[in-house]
Amino acid sequence: MSSKACERALQYKVGEKIHGFTINQVTPIPELFLTAVKLSHDNTGARYLHLAREDKNNLFSVQFRTTPMDSTGVPHILEHTVLCGSQKYPCRDPFFKMLNRSLSTFMNAFTASDYTLYPFSTQNPKDFQNLLSVYLDAAFFPCLRELDFWQEGWRLEHEDPADPQTPLIFKGIVFNEMKGAFTDNERIFSQHLQNRLLPDHTYSVISGGDPLCIPDLTWEQLKQFHATHYHPSNARFFTYGNFQLEKHLKQIDEEALSKFQKIEPSTIVPAQKPWDKPREYQITCGPDSLATDSSKQTTVSVSFLLPGITNTFEAFALNLLSSLLIGGPNSPFYKALIESGLGTGFSPDVGYNGYTREAYFSVGLQGIAEKDIQTVRNIIDRTIDEVIEKGFEDDRIEALLHKTEIQMKHQSTSFGLTLTSYIASCWNHDGDPVELLKLGNQMAQFRQRLKESPVFLQEKIKQYFKNNQHKLTLSMKPDDKYYEKQTQMETEKLKQKVNSLSRKDKEWIYEKGLELRTQQSKTQDASCLPALRVSDIERTIPFTELDVTLAAGEIPVQYCAQPTNGMVYFRAFSSLNTLPEELKLYVPLFCSVLTKLGCGILNYREQAQQIELKTGGMTVSPHVLPDDSHLDTYEQGVLFSSLCLDRNLPDMMHLWSEIFNNPCFEEEEHFKVLVKMSAQELSNGIPDSGHLYASIRASRTLTPAGDLQETFNGMDQVRLMKRIAEMTDIKPVLRKLPRIKKHLLNCDNMSRCSVNATPQQMSETAKVVERFIKNLGRSKKERKPVRPHVIEKPAYKNGSSGSTYVNGSQIIRKLITDPTFKPCQMKTHFLLPFPVNYVGECVRTVPYTDPDHASLKILARLMTAKFLHTEIREKGGAYGGGAKLSRDGVFTFYSYRDPNSIETLQSFGKAVDWAKSGKFTQQDIDEAKLSVFSAVDAPVAPSDKGMDHFLYGLSDEMKQAHREQLFAVGHDKLIDVSNKYLGIGKCTHGLAVLGPENAKIAKDPSWIIR
C-alpha cells in the first residue's frame, strides 16, 4: 500500500497532540487503500475521523445527531436555514452562492432520521479552505433570520404578495418539497414502516416534516433546536483524501471549536423496547396514475426488528443474509414472491435497513390485489421455514463475497462521499467507524463462522425471523380521494391559522410578505464570501492516451490503460441502423431483459448465478448519441457494459458470447415477471424524475434525435410498458425480441468495443476480446439501413485537426441524418394526480463545436444562478429550477416539484428578457464560468476514461478547443446569443408540463392534453 497520503498518515503517534486535538488511533486499511486516523478534540470532545488516501478529490463533512420528537420538520428546515447566512458570511444564501464561487465536485446537505450531514468535496486546496470556512460558520454560527425561516420553512402569504385582497396561503420551500415527496407512494410506505416498527422515540416522527405539521413550527423552536443539537460535543468531523490533516485541524479549531466549551448532549436514542406480540397496520396512499391494473395497487410487507447496528460483525452478517434471501432470481423470496405472479415487484425498503439505531429486515410485494394480502403473508412464513430447513448453496454465498470484493476494488470518483455516508449511521450511535471499514476482516470472520458451523445462517434466521415477536405487517392501498383529503386537511389547517389572526396580524403578514419579496429581489452583495478566480482554473486538460486496433480485421477496439486495481471494464456499441421502425419502441425492453432470460445451455437462474459469480454486473442500454457539429445528425445504438476481476475475464467474455450468439427468448413466465417489475419501476420513478420527462417531451419535435429520445426514455416508453404489463397474452411481444436480436447481436452491426484495464493486463485482455469478436455470428443476408441517409464519420485522426493521443486505427461511426427535417413547436400537458408540477421548455440552438455553444452553456448557468433560482425557488416555492444546455444543442428551462406551471413558463420568458438586457456584471460571468468548469472538470474514474472519445467521437483536442471557447465568453457574446437564439420567434421552442389539471391550459387550444 504505497501511497504518499497513507505513508504520511502512518507517521502519526497515538497520544500526539495537534492543534487542540489528540490522536487516539492510527489504522491502515489496505483493502480500501487508505489509513484511518481517529482523533478527539480536547476541549469540546468533538470526534474526528481522517481517512488518508491518494485521491485528489478531497471531502469534508460534519454531522450532528438530530433527534426530533415531532413531525414539524425542524431538523430539515434547520438544515436549509443554516445555509442562508452566518456571522462571518452574513449575505443571503451563501450556500447557493458558493456553488458559483468554487470548483467543488460536490456540495450538499442531508437530513436523515437521526442525523444531519453537511458534506462537500473539491480537488483544489484553496477551494477546500474556502468551503470549509463557509460550512463551519454556517453550522456553528448561523444567522437564522426570521425571513430566512419564512422562505425556507413555511409562511402565510397572500397568493399575490403585492395584493392583500388575494387569499392567504401556505408557502415555503421545505413545505412544498415535502408535499412533493409524499406524492411518491413508495416514500409514504417507507415512512410509515419506520414510524410503526420503531414507535418509542425519534423514529416515530417524520424528520423531513409532515406538510400538515410543518406550520406548527415556530422560529423560536428552530433557534432552540440549533442551540441544543449543533454543538461540537454533539458533532462528528470527517475528512478524506490526500490533503494535509494538520491544516484541516488548525482551521477547524481556530474558526469553530476554540469558541465552545464541552456540554453533555442529550441526543442519545434509547433502544427500542421489543414487542411481546406482532402488530399489523393498514394505511392509504394516492392512486398510481400509471398503475398497470387499478384493482392491483395494494402493497404489503412483513418486517422484523434486528439488533443494533453498532455490532459491526453482526450487521455485516445480517446484511449478507438479507441479500441471500432477496437478491436475484436464485433467492428464496424472489422465487416464492416475485415468481408467484401475485404482484409487480418487491415492496419498498425490501431487505436489510441499517440506517436506524436498530436495523430491520423487510420483505413483501407491491402491485397485488387486496384479497391476496393473507396469501403473501403465508408465503413469507412458509419461505422462512423452508430456508431454515434447506440453507443456502455455497455458490450463492461465494457470489456475494465476490460482489463485496469488487466493491472494494472498483474506484468511483466520489469515494469520499460513499465512505462518509457508509459510516454515518453507525458512528452516529457511537459505533466504531474504523471497524466498519475493515471489510477484509469481516469477510474472513464470516468465512470462519461458516466453516465452524455450516448452519450459522439458518440459526440467525431462526433467531431473528422465525422466533421474533417484534414483527410488523404493514399494508397500503390506494384511495382515489387521497389527494383530495390531503388538500382538505391542508385547507382546514390554513383556516385554523387564518381565523386566529387579528387584523393587526394580517397587516403584519402582508408587510412581512412585501419585505421578503423586496429582499429576494434586491441585488445581493456577496463580496464577503471567499471565491476562486477564473485564473485558478487549469488552462489545459490532461490528455488521455488511447490505442485503437482492429480486432478480427474489422472491428475497432479502443484500449485505455488505467490504474483500475486489477479490474477490467469492457464495453461494446452496436448500431440500430438496420432495425425496422416498428421495432424501435421495444428496444429498451429488449435491453432490460436480454441478460435475464438465459443463454446457451444456461437457464435464467443459472445465468444470473454466473453473472454474480464472475462479473460486477452486465448491463445493456439504448443510446441516442448527438453529433458534435450537426443538430440533425445522430447515432443510434445499444451499449453493452460489464466489469470483472481480471481472473474472471475469460468467463465474462464467454457469457457475452453466449448472450450475443444464443440468447434465450422462451421463458414466457419469467418474461412476464420482468415486464411487470419494469413497468412498476418506471411508474414509481416519475415523482423523482418528472422534470426529465417534461424536458424530453418538450424537445421531442426540435431535432430528429428528439423523437427517438422520447421513444426510448420518455413518457411514451412508460405508457408502452404499462400497456404490455396489462396484456393477458404477452407472446406477441416476446416474439419481437428474436427479430430485434437479428439486427443487433451480430458482427455486421457491431460498431466498436472498448477496454479499460491496467497496462499489465492489456495483452491478455486483447486476446480474449479478439476471440469474442471472432466468435460473433454474421447475418446471412446483407441488411440495408432503414433510413437511407447514413454518414460515415471518423473520429479525427493524426494530422491537422486530428488527435495526437489516439494511436493506431480509427473508429468510424455510422450516423443517421435527416435532410428533410423541419423542427416544429408542440405543447403537451400530461395529466398526473400529483399536487405539484414539473415544467420543461426547450429551444433548438447549436451543436457542441459551434463557438456559440460555449456562450449558451455559460448563459444557462448565469440565468440559473442570477435569475431563475430567485424566481422559481425563492419566490415561486418550487424545490428546484433553472436552465441547462445539453450536448445535443437543446437549451432547456425546467422546474421541479413546482406549485406553479403557467407562472413558471412566464418566468422562463422573463429570464430571456433579463439576459437580453445584459444586466449582469463581469463578476457574475466569472462565477458562471467557475460553476461550468467545476462540471467540465469533474473527476473521471479510471473505468470511464476515454469514454467521450469512444461514445461521442470527441478527441481531447476538440475538448480543449471547447475549453478555450468557454474561457473566451464575454458580456457581449452572452447578450448576442440571448438575442440570436432565445427570443420569441428566433428558434423553435417546445413546452411540456407534468402535473394536475389546470384550468388555464385546458382553455388554451394550443396545448395537447394527454
**Residues marked as catalytic:** 79
Contact 751, 574 (CB under 8 A): yes
Which residue's C-alpha cell is 404490455? 724
Q: What angle do CA 464, 304, 374 make, to 5 degrees?
A: 115
User: What separation in angstroms does the CA of 881 have from each of 150, 218, 892, 930?
Assistant: 20, 28, 11, 19
Q: Considering just the CA atoms, what is the radius of gyration of the chain in Å?
A: 29
Instruction: Return the DSSP state at 611.
Output: H
Strand, coil or helix: what is 188? helix
Write out the three cell numbers for 302.
Answer: 412483513
Q: What angle do CA 844, 847, 849 make, to 5 degrees?
A: 155
- Of the candidates 804, 735, 746, the residue with the CA atom closest to the CA atom of residue 956: 804
Write out the three cell numbers for 605.
Answer: 437462474
Q: What count of Cα atoms within 13 Å lies in the side-chain half-sphere of residue 247?
A: 13
- CA quadruple 262, 266, 267, 270: dihedral sign: positive
Q: Please state, in angstroms and rounded to a whole number, the distance separating the CA atoms of residues 156 and 175.
A: 11
DSSP-assigned beta bridge partners for residue 351: 362
Q: What count of Cα atoms within 13 Å lies in the side-chain half-sphere of residue 201?
A: 14
Strand, coil or helix: what is 708? helix
- Of the candidates 833, 747, 950, the residue with the CA atom closest to the CA atom of residue 487: 833
Q: Which helix (H) or strand (E) holds 120?
A: strand 115-122
Contact 754, 952 (CB under 8 A): no
Q: What are phi and psi of 975, to 5 degrees?
A: -65, -40
- CA quadruple 217, 220, 225, 230: dihedral sign: positive
Instruction: Return the DSSP state at 13.
Output: -
74-82 and 219-229 helices cross at what angle (nearest 10)? 80
Q: Please state, in angstroms and rounded to a whole number, the distance separating the CA atoms of residues 352 and 377.
A: 18
Q: Determine how many CB atoms are found less than 10 A away from the CB of residue 702.
A: 27
Instruction: Using DSSP bridges, classify how beta strands 989-995 and 345-346 pair: parallel, antiparallel or unpaired.
Output: unpaired
Extended strands (E) in 565-610: 567-575
CA 111: distance to chain centroid? 16
Contact 811, 689 (CB under 8 A): no
Give DSSP secondary structure letters for 62-98.
EEEE---SSSS-HHHHHHHHHTT-BSS--SS-HHHHH
Residue 367: exposure state from Cβ atoms within 10 A (0-12, 13-18, ≥19): buried
Q: Please state, in angstroms and rounded to a whole number, the distance separating the CA atoms of residues 85 and 204.
A: 31
Q: Please state, in angstroms and rounded to a whole number, the distance separating the CA atoms of residues 390 and 239.
A: 45
Residue 780: exposure state from Cβ atoms within 10 A (0-12, 13-18, ≥19): exposed
Q: Determine how many CB atoms are found less than 10 A away from the CB of residue 654.
A: 18
Write out the three cell numbers for 755.
Answer: 477496454
Contact 257, 43 (CB under 8 A): yes
User: What separation in angstroms does the CA of 849 have from each of 281, 610, 954?
Assistant: 59, 44, 10
Contact 531, 929 (CB under 8 A): no
